[in-house]
Amino acid sequence: MVVAEISLTPIGTADSSLSFYIAKSIESINDIKGVKHITTSMGTILEADNMEKIFECAKAMNETIHRLGVKRVGILLKIDSRTDKVQSSQDKLDSVKKHLKGS
């Protein structure tokens, strides 16, 4: 299982709000089979069986923003590739929460 977090930043837009571009980039991966995604306020969590699917999503999201007229896009892509067991992003979060005081 591969869990990744991607954050795209359109650079040089006419407006300081980027939500339109981010929404369109997320829509571009809705039909990619074998990928689960969860959007947060700081990025999008991607889950897939292989890194090729993660890269396919990154490419689609980037190209979508460029097609909207943005000439430059900054991308942060963080990947956790694990082969010893299947662990979703929720499983990872639950693992941390069990160690927090008061949980």
Mean pLDDT of 21-42: 97
Whether pLDDT at 81 is above 70: yes
Mean residue pLDDT of the chain comes to: 95
In CATH, what number does 2-97 get?
3.30.70.930
DSSP conformation letters of 20-84: HHHHHHHHTTTT-TTEEEEE-SS-EEEEESSHHHHHHHHHHHHHHHHHTT-SEEEEEEEEEE-SS
pLDDT the model gives residue 101: 85
